[in-house]
Amino acid sequence: MIKIKTLFTISCSILLASCYAQMPTDSTAEKMLVYQLGNGGWPKQLEDKSVVNYGATLTPELLAKVKATTDKHATFDNKATSREVVYLIGAYKKTENKAYLMAAEKGLDYILAAQYPNGGWPQYYPDQSLYRSQITFNDDAMINVLNILRDITEKKNDFDLVDQRYDGRAEKAIVKGIDCILKTQFKQNGELSIWAAQYDKDTMLPAKARNFEPASLATSESVGIIRFLMGVKSPSAEVKKSIAAAVKWFDTYKISGYRFDREKGKTAALVQDDSSMAWARFYDLDKNVPIFGDRDNSIKLKLEELIPERRNGYAWYGNWGQKLIEKEYPKWLATKGK
């Protein structure tokens, strides 16, 4: 009898191992499992400052660098963590490999743990050095996270596959996140304008990041915020007011008939284009005039005053608000804005 039980146990183990070995896999998702940090987040750079690249082969040398990367490198910057969570959910739907779902849910736990009591998210968590602890809209870091949480509550983009225990947690986090957005919308003489790229986590006032990223109104990030708010199913009067004021700001300060040219070999500049409209990336908090940060921490009022490396190495102007003004806001106004 004992021998039969032993043989049965061995047979089951072999069968399970065989099933696991035959389970469909996704090559990129497999690498994401390797890169995931102990706290559930993902880095954008490894310990040696090399950029995470899922297209690279995991050689023994690269694997050693990955393993040497500590939890302090977990971040939301440059789509890190949000990118992996979204991809892994899709990979799980495609393969039904539960390892991918488990990793994505661990990423969700990290996202929820990183939110401040005031509703904001930092650029990095748990690293508090430099500007990494600031509430960060820069490069859509906080909005990317909020979009994932909204997908959970609305059962969209395959996020109906995550455990239902995330539903309530995601909903609460979104409420806090929207509250943070409304509280950080910058006021000029009592009137709402748009948002800064990052804020002090305690005072919730606009803050600088890198030397060429001064405390200022940030147009690119503000468009992402407006789009998120327009996605609220039943917007409150406060949300409607916030959207209307921000769009009014964009309409007031648009530069009609120009686009930003950054072609290789050319000096970056605004060029005439009757079909386009443009905005500077950053505006003075009170005067609403374009400002440009340089490597030496100085602020210039003209693009031409920047050193060549900075002038050509950053998107100082863009058409970020054009589609918003011409199509998206009118459509929202007709459906939800009344």
Catalytically active residues are 78, 210
Q: Is the separation of the CB atoms in 246 and 193 below 8 Å?
A: yes
Element (H, E) at 215: none
Helix (H, G, I), strand (E, B) or coil at 276: strand
Q: Which two tokens stand for residue 246?
A: 């921000």
φ and ψ at 323, to 5 degrees?
A: -65, -35
What is the C-alpha to C-alpha distance for residues 182 and 74, in angstroms, rounded to an integer? Answer: 27
Q: What one-character-per-residue DSSP string does 121-156 give? A: -BSBSS--STTTTSEE-GGGHHHHHHHHHHHHHHT-
Element (H, E) at 201: none
C-alpha distances in Å from residue 310, one per residue of 64, 134, 218, 303, 315: 34, 23, 17, 9, 10
**Residue 54 burial (10 A CB sphere; 0-12, 13-18, 19+):** middle
Q: Which one, of 116, 108, 42, 46, lies nearest residue 79 by Cα?
A: 42
Q: Which long-range contacts (CB under 8 A, 24 or more apart) does 301-306 make?
A: 303/268, 303/269, 303/270
What is the C-alpha to C-alpha distance for residues 273 and 297, in angstroms, rounded to an integer? Answer: 32
Element (H, E) at 205: none
| CB within 8 Å of 188: residues ≥ 6 apart | 285, 286, 288
